[in-house]
Amino acid sequence: MNISKIFQNKLLNFTAYMLLYCSIFLCENPNLSEYNTDLSRDEISEAL
């Protein structure tokens, strides 16, 4: 098992999560924001 590969994948997942999280908070529409949060949480759970 290549440890650095695993670490790299985790880091990429974390970066993607942070980007999604930030973009959700920058969204002005509360209804859209709520929807996107639920959607991305499911997507991130699957990704991890």
What's the confidence (pLDDT) of residue 41? 61
pLDDT tens readout for residues 1-48 = 688 898 889 999 899 888 888 777 766 555 554 555 555 566 656 766
d(CA 46, CA 31): 23
- What backbone phi and psi angles, to 5 degrees, belong to 28? -80, -30
At position 17, the amino acid (one-letter code) is Y
Residue 2: predicted pLDDT: 83
Q: Side-chain half-sphere of 42: how many Cα atoms within 13 Å?
A: 5
Residue with tokens 């880091």: 11
Q: Where are the domains of the chain?
A: 10-47
